[in-house]
Structure 1
Amino acid sequence: MTTDDGLAAAAELFKVLGNQSRLRLLRLLEQSPRTVGALAEAAGLSQPLVSQHLRTLRHAGLVSVTRSGKESIYEVADHHVSHVIGDALEHVHEPDDSAH
């Protein structure tokens, strides 16, 4: 295995996760599957912006969509990513011990 195995894919994943609004949407979807309208309201974002972010998240394989009549219900497709986000949030909330 070379040191580059998977690094490009991981870098692409971090690019997708490198947006605060997309992280917020993923955190909301961890709680429960939701429609675009429900996500927009909960996140305080416009529906077109939420739709754009969901397209990016779907393309990256991080969310999936189920159609129910005219509604589309989104949910987290890869729960490993939920752990990555949770670990990142824990990391940023840890006290800074570098000064010691």
Structure 2
Amino acid sequence: MLWALRDADLDVASLAAVAGCRPTVASQHLSKLRFAGLVEGTRQGQRVVYRLRGGHVRALLAEALFQADHQVSGAPVHD
């Protein structure tokens, strides 16, 4: 879900579709992500639209992907 939010603000139904889960499951995950301060939601009529909470979260995602790439490719880990 975090990866999907890096490019667009999305509602629960859209995030559930991306994640391949039911909206209730997506909503539970979003609750935990909100509690952790990683996402924020804005009510737009009947729905809530979610977005990443700042550039640090985007940077965290990018670094996590770099780490995963190192693991998969066998490249040495560095600081």
> C-alpha distance in 2, partners of 1:81/1:68?
23
TM-score by length of 1: 0.67
Structure 1 contact 61–78 (Cα < 8 Å) conserved: no
> C-alpha distance in 2, partners of 1:37/1:97?
38
What are the equivalent positions in structure 2 for 1:1-100 lying under 5 Å apart?
25-94=1-70, 95-97=73-75
Over the residues paired in the alignment, what is the CA RMSD in angstroms? 1.4
**Unaligned residue ranges in structure 1 (runs of 5+):** 1-24
Q: Give the partner amino acid of 2:54.
A: D
4+ runs deviating over 4 angstroms: none
Considering fraction of residues, name the structure with more strand: 2
Q: How many percent of aligned residue pairs carry the same amino acid?
A: 34
Cα offset, 1:62, TM superposition: 0.9
TM-score by length of 2: 0.83
Higher relative contact order (CA closer than 8 Å, sequence separation 6+): 2
**Unaligned residue ranges in structure 2 (runs of 5+):** none
In terms of Rg, which structure is larger?
A: 1
